[in-house]
């Protein structure tokens, strides 16, 4: 984005404004934009809610908060869901930073989950649980990495389109998982996945989701350090900014691509492992629940910064949980709460535009630029 | 800058305190009259856009309204997937003070069972499940309806239509072949299509049937495709056990009569819809609510039929059905209620050419599907007596399976 530094004259005709890239923006100003956008979003949603349903919007927002953090259970639930979404988002981030559009996270998560479930079914009872969990973890990391490496290999070898390739790999993974779900279903033929008893992740301090959260926190910290301070992280950003520059300074673009996609897939594999062994204790074709796609938004909104992404994934899960409470309390079709969430996210994304660009009046072209 | 920071802090604190206040408010409400205190929570797989869930939702509304429950006493959670979310939803309902939690999808069962073990003071009821009679968790219950009796009647309507076609010379007696679109090769579906077939056979002895499975409970395209395949195999009448409009629409387009499920499809298929059987869940909902209010125990397995109003047939569509269908259905229904006829009478079907006098079914679900219970006695197969969910899984003569899905 930084390459577009001069004015973009969107129209030479009668438009009263043109768009100018901001050079830099003070952090508090950027946050001010974000806060204003949220307030605006809440006002717009409020107007829509009142006019369509007659529900008091303030009450609705309180219901939303109650649905997300109303009880201790809901708070744990919120953190657990945030952790899983964050984990998938962290997985796609290095690939995105490299401008490799990995939209195959959904499939990579499922394949990781499939590896975990396979171990739980066939190795459960043959070895001590800690060892079994270790094997599950290693195999799901490998499975995810392989699922990520396939499109990367074809990209480096034949310059195939990674967006389409990773997308298609999702459907392959979904069908493979659907096949095994049916194969392993109990009772046979019902299409209902069996509950996997052996190799479930243990509860720490009586909290069954704590281990998931801790694992994701560790991955977040490692990913932050990896991207920001490691040589490999630097190589990723260089490849992302310009492949030619990377080649010029002696970085093997192919190697970086393969390595980064293996990492991306591997972390997705861990997310699949956490979902199957840590929360669901079963495997279905919708175990990933669309997180592979939501993660794209989380990663972009968080500007590929793992620490920001904690916030963005939290925000999205918070909105989802709150929205489902709205439909429960007010007996509205869940689509209505989806609309509300959609509007809020739209405004937040919109605020990023005003943080990066500003509108300048065409009449005062000569006026000095200051934000 | 500090000002903005402190403003933000204040905002966060405000939000937090409001959240806490509203949580406290809920607890204060708990003290009230016995009946006003009662709460029931429903967990549904989809929303009203699915015929399966709409059937439950309508019944829940009817039952709770009839018993005079207020909106605050009834909580619906829709679009709850068959995963950990289901456990969380059930636990949340228990936290909200529900006395009864009901879930409607087969795959919800393990998660509801998990919640039942965690909240022994709350009653957990689960439709279509199979494990209540073996788990022995006092507050966990299964329910179903003897829908096979409804399907048997629907089969009679189909058989009469075939007879009409034979008499008018449209087909010969040997060409009386029906098609059936099933979801999975699984007891609930097998029991359904067999009872449908036996109903047709009771009036049209030469009837045969082909079954095509889709491998999904709800997939409009697949169901339509399966129906089309059956039609190209020269099936002259179609029925289905899947939740979309796929098969009925295919029939209407081809002008072939259709016997439906879950409710009337007459408005979309005015020329081909004959009749439909469905389960009405309102009697069960009234039963569990009343039992809980009176402090009585809820049975582990509940399965009722015509008499309790749990199994219903829609109106017969005169435009498509054979003459005299309604009268024949009323007569057969009375005989089913009195016990004069049994759907799975061993005199009426054979397996590999032999009449059965003994069969062990897998009533106590286990991963190896071990047959464990003798289900044939007094000359008929005792369906839904040893547990509420169907377990008839015999492949009887006259029915050809085109594929398998398990």
Distance CA B111, CA A203 (A): 17
Residue ranges making up the domain that contains A250 = 72-330
- A28 falls within a domain: yes
Distance from CA of A308 to the nearest CA of B (A): 17
Residues A321 and A351 in one domain: no
Q: How many folded domains does chain A comprise?
A: 2
Q: What is the pLDDT of residue B13?
A: 54
Q: pLDDT grade, residue B7 (50/70/90)?
A: low
* Per-residue pLDDT tens over the stretch B341-372: 999 998 899 999 888 888 888 888 776 677 88
- Kindly state whether residue A250 falls inside one of the protein's structural domains: yes
Higher pLDDT, B146 or A12: B146
Model pLDDT, residue B6: 59
Same domain, A6 and A24: yes
Chain B residues contacting A via beta carbons under 8 Å: 1, 4, 8, 15, 18-19, 22-23, 26, 47-48, 71, 75-79, 81-84, 88, 91-92, 95, 106-107, 109-110, 130, 183-188, 215-217, 362, 365, 367, 369, 405-406
Domain-located, residue B94: no
Tell me which chain A residues have a C-beta less than 8 angstroms from the C-beta of B367: 186, 194
**Which candidate, B351, B348, B360, places its Cα nearest to that of B395?**
B351
Q: Mean pLDDT across chain B, nearest whole number? A: 86
Q: What is the CATH number of the domain that holds B227?
A: 3.40.50.2300
Q: Dump pLDDT digits (tens) for A262-285.
A: 999 999 999 999 999 999 888 988
> Percentage of residues in chain B with pLDDT exceeding 70?
91
Question: pLDDT at position B181, please?
Answer: 93
Q: Are residues A261 and A144 in the same domain?
A: yes
Domain holding B330, by residue range, is 147-278+313-352+383-401
- Chain B positions in Cβ-Cβ contact with residue A175 (cut-off 8 Å): none
- pLDDT > 90: percent of chain B: 49
Give me the pLDDT at residue A3, please.
Answer: 46
User: What does the alpha-carbon distance between residue B123 and residue B103 come to, in Å, rounded to a whole number?
Assistant: 11
Closest residue to B15, CB basis, from A65, A77, A328: A65
The number of C-beta contacts closer than 8 angstroms across A and B is 97
Q: How confident is the model at residue B93 (pLDDT cuts 50, 70, 90)?
A: very high
Q: Which residue of A has its CA nearest to B49?
A: A333
Residues A80, A30 within the same domain: no
Domain assignment present for B182: yes
- Per-residue pLDDT band for A204 (boundaries 50, 70, 90) equals confident
In a domain, B119, yes or no: no
Testing the interface with B: which of A113, A187, A281 to mutate, by most B Cβ within 10 A? A187
**What pLDDT was estimated at residue A13?**
58
pLDDT at B4: 58
Q: Do A191 and B217 touch (CB under 8 A)?
A: yes
Same domain, A339 and A229: no
Q: Across residues A199-213, what is the average pLDDT?
A: 88
The CA distances from residue A108 to A91, A164, B248, B252, in Å, are 10, 15, 38, 42
Quote the Cα angle for B87-B88-B89, to 5°: 90
pLDDT at A23 over 90: no
**For position B378, what pLDDT does the model report?**
87
pTM score = 0.81
Q: Quick one: average pLDDT of B283-289?
A: 92
Place B2 in a pLDDT band, splitting at 50, 70 and 90.
Answer: low
B126 found inside a domain: no
A65 within domain boundaries: no
A47 with A122, same domain: the answer is no
Give B106's contacts in chain A (Cβ within 8 Å): 190, 192
Q: What is the pLDDT of residues B116-144, one digit of tens each?
A: 999 999 999 999 888 888 888 989 999 99
pLDDT over 90, % of chain A: 49
Q: Give the total number of structural domains in chain B.
A: 1
B4, B18, B88 ranked by CB distance to A28: nearest: B4
Contact A333 B183 (CB under 8 A): no
- A141 and A12, same structural domain? no
Interface test with B, best of A30, A74, A191, A282 (most B CBs within 10 A): A191
Q: Which of A80, B93, B96 is nearest to B112 (CA)?
A: B93
The reply to whether B366 falls in a domain is no
What integer pLDDT is reported at residue A229 of this predicted model? 93
Share of chain A above pLDDT 70, in %: 92
Q: Mark yes or no for CB contact B88/A327 under 8 Å.
A: no
* Residue B55 confidence (pLDDT): 87
What's A117's domain CATH number? 1.10.3470
Together in a domain, A235 and A325: yes
What's the CA gap between B386 and B277, in Å, rounded? 23
pLDDT band at B29 (very low <50, low <70, confident <90, very high): very low
Indicate whether A124 and A234 sit together in one domain: yes
Mean pLDDT value across residues B388-405: 88
Is the domain of A112 the same as that of A181? Answer: yes
| A187·B186 Cβ contact <8 A | yes
- Is residue B159's pLDDT more than 50? yes
Residue B46 pLDDT level (bands cut at 50, 70, 90): confident
Q: How far is B146 from chain A (nearest CA, A)?
A: 19
* Shortest Cα distance, chain A CAs vs residue B98, angstroms: 14
Q: What is the ipTM of this complex?
A: 0.81
pLDDT band at B261 (very low <50, low <70, confident <90, very high): confident
Put simply, the answer to whether B83 touches A287 (Cβ < 8 Å) is yes
Q: Are residues A76 and A173 in the same domain?
A: yes
Same domain as A354, residue A293: no
Which of B184, B389, B395 to substitute to test the interface with A, most A CBs within 10 Å?
Answer: B184
């Amino acid at each position: 984005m930084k390459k577009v530094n001069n004015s973009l004259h969107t129209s030479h005709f009668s438009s009263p404004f043109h768009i100018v890239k901001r050079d830099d923006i003070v952090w508090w100003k950027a946050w001010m934009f974000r806060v204003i956008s949220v307030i605006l979003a809440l006002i717009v949603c409020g107007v829509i809610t009142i006019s369509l349903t007659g529900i008091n919007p303030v009450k609705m927002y309180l219901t939303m908060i109650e649905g997300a953090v109303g009880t201790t259970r809901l708070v744990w639930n919120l953190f657990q869901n945030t952790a899983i979404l964050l984990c998938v988002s962290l997985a796609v981030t290095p690939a995105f930073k490299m401008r490799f559009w990995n939209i195959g996270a959904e499939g990579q998560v499922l394949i990781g989950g499939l590896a975990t479930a396979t171990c739980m079914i066939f190795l459960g009872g043959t070895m001590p649980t800690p060892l079994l969990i270790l094997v599950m973890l290693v195999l799901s990391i490998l499975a995810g990495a392989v699922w990520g490496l396939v499109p990367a290999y074809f990209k480096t070898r034949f310059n195939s389109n990674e967006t389409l390739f990773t997308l298609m790999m999702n459907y392959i993974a979904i069908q493979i998982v659907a096949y095994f779900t049916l194969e392993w279903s109990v009772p046979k033929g019902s299409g209902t996945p069996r509950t996997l008893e052996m190799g479930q992740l243990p509860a720490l301090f009586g909290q069954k989701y704590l281990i998931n959260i801790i694992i994701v926190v560790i991955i977040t910290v490692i990913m932050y350090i990896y991207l920001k301070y490691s040589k490999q992280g630097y190589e990723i950003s260089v490849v992302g900014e310009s492949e030619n520059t990377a080649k010029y300074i002696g970085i093997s673009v192919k190697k970086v691509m393969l390595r980064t996609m293996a990492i991306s897939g591997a972390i997705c594999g861990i997310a699949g492992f956490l979902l199957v062994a840590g929360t669901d204790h079963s495997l279905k074709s919708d175990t990933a629940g669309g997180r592979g796609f939501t993660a794209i938004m989380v990663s972009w909104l968080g500007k590929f910064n793992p620490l920001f992404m904690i916030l963005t994934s939290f925000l999205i899960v918070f909105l989802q949980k709150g929205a489902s409470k709205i439909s429960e309390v007010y007996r509205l079709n869940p689509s209505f709460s989806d609309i509300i969430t959609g509007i809020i996210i739209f405004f937040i994304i919109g605020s990023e535009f005003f943080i990066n660009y500003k509108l300048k009046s065409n009449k005062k072209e000569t006026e000095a630029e200051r934000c | 800058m500090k000002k903005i920071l402190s403003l933000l802090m204040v905002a966060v604190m405000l939000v937090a305190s409001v959240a806490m206040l509203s949580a406290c408010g809920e607890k204060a409400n708990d003290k009230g009259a016995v009946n006003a205190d009662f709460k029931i929570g429903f967990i549904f797989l989809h929303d009203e856009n699915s015929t399966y869930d709409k059937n439950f939702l309508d019944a829940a509304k009817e039952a709770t309204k009839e018993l005079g429950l207020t909106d605050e006493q009834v909580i619906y959670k829709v679009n709850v997937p068959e995963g950990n979310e289901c456990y969380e939803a059930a636990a949340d309902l228990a936290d909200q003070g529900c006395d009864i939690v009901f879930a409607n999808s087969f795959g919800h069962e393990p998660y509801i069972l998990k919640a039942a073990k965690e909240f022994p003071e709350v009653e957990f009821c689960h439709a279509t499940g199979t494990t209540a009679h073996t788990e022995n968790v006092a507050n966990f219950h299964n329910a179903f309806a003897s829908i096979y009796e409804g399907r048997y009647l629907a089969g009679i309507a189909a058989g009469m239509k075939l007879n009409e076609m034979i008499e008018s010379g449209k087909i010969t007696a040997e060409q009386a072949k029906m098609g059936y679109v099933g979801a999975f090769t699984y007891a609930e579906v097998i029991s359904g299509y067999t009872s449908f077939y036996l109903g047709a056979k009771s009036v049209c002895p030469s009837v045969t049937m082909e079954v095509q499975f889709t491998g999904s409970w709800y997939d409009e395209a697949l169901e339509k495709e399966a129906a089309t395949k059956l039609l190209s195999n020269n099936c002259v009448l179609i029925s289905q056990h899947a939740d979309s409009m796929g098969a009925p629409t295919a029939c209407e387009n081809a002008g072939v009569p259709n016997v439906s499920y879950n409710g009337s499809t007459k408005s979309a298929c005015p020329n081909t819809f004959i009749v439909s059987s469905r389960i009405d869940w309102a009697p069960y909902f009234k039963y569990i609510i009343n039992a809980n209010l009176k402090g009585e125990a809820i049975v582990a397995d509940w399965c009722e039929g015509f008499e309790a109003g749990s199994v219903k047939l829609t109106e017969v569509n005169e435009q498509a059905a054979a003459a005299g269908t309604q009268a024949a259905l009323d007569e057969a229904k009375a005989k089913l209620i009195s016990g004069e006829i049994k759907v799975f009478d061993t005199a009426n079907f054979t397996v590999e050419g032999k009449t059965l006098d003994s069969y062990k079914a897998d009533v106590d679900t286990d991963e190896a599907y071990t047959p464990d219970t003798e289900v044939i006695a007094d000359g008929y197969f005792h369906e839904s007596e040893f547990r509420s969910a169907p377990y008839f899984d015999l492949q009887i003569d006259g029915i050809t399976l085109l594929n398998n899905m398990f």
